[in-house]
Amino acid sequence: MGSSSQPAKASGTYRIGGDLQVDRLGYGAMQLTGPGVWGDPKDPAEAVRVLRRAYEMGVTFIDTADSYGPFVSELLIREALHPYADDLVIATKAGLTRSGPGDWRPVGRPEYLRQQCELSLRHLGVESIGLYQLHRIDAKVPLEDQLGELALLQQEGKIRHIGLSEVTVAQIEAAQQITPIVSVQNLYNLADRSAEDVLDHCERHDLAFIPWFPIATGNLAKPGGPLDAIATGHDATPAQLALAWLLRRSPVMLPIPGTSSVGHLEENVAAAQVQLTDEEYDALAKAA
């Protein structure tokens, strides 16, 4: 169990790719940018404080992407945390281009993915990226070409492990024929479990499952609703319960709630210490 000063430790640990150990409750750095995930945050100093506070609270897994800003998130991580502690794993992604606020377009051409990896290495200030994820599969480029380039970067020592994002079970299986995959990042939360089959596949094959948008609670949090009632009993917020439920759902689950404020970060990380009973876990699962 984690100490009260490092609540993230209570989430338990997981080894990404069998060798990169992280505390399971991580931090997603997408919100450290301007509106529409574009440009600088309105309070860059607070963004730096959030990142430093996350590590102080025991968070050892930070997830970002070249497209957040673009590059704003990676540069803030470097400013806040470089030189990185030995136990800190920073995962990033490439494969979505940006042409303005809220605009995301997949590009998986090998030379583009290589360029983005080189830029991420420079922006993060590292010689090797612990987990490098294909942000989206580009339907216009053969999968062999996209993942083949990441495998080359891996052979060159520029990345350690390869992950995928927003994929089906069939796509994971196709990818595994090309190069070893260690993680999958899909939309998943208490209110939207459309990726259940992908999570089950990850659990069976010991792949990290990184749910993005992990604390959407939909109507479940409304007064008198199931989250509201259980939250009161735990002196917790509905968002904390949603995270506690994810941590309980699977040992391969690595939730990465994001925020741009220290106060909200502290609330999210404290969720690792919320212990749901079997009855509460089942009640929440059924309610959604």
Active-site residues, by number, are 68
Residue 76 CA: distances (Å) to CA of 44, 90, 169, 181, 195: 8, 12, 34, 28, 31
- Judged by phi (left if over 0) then psi (alpha if -120 to 50, else beta), residue 224 lies in left
DSSP string, 1-58: ---TT-GGGGG-EEEETTTEEEESS-EE-TTSSSTTTBS--S-HHHHHHHHHHHHHTT
- Other Cβ atoms less than 10 A from the Cβ of 141: the count is 18
Task: Give the span between the Cα atoms of 256 and 216, in whole angstroms.
Answer: 12
- Cα angle 142-144-150, degrees, rounded to a multiple of 5: 115
- Judged by phi (left if over 0) then psi (alpha if -120 to 50, else beta), residue 166 lies in left
Sign of CA dihedral 153, 118, 34, 63: positive
Residue 206 CA: distances (Å) to CA of 66, 98, 274: 26, 32, 25
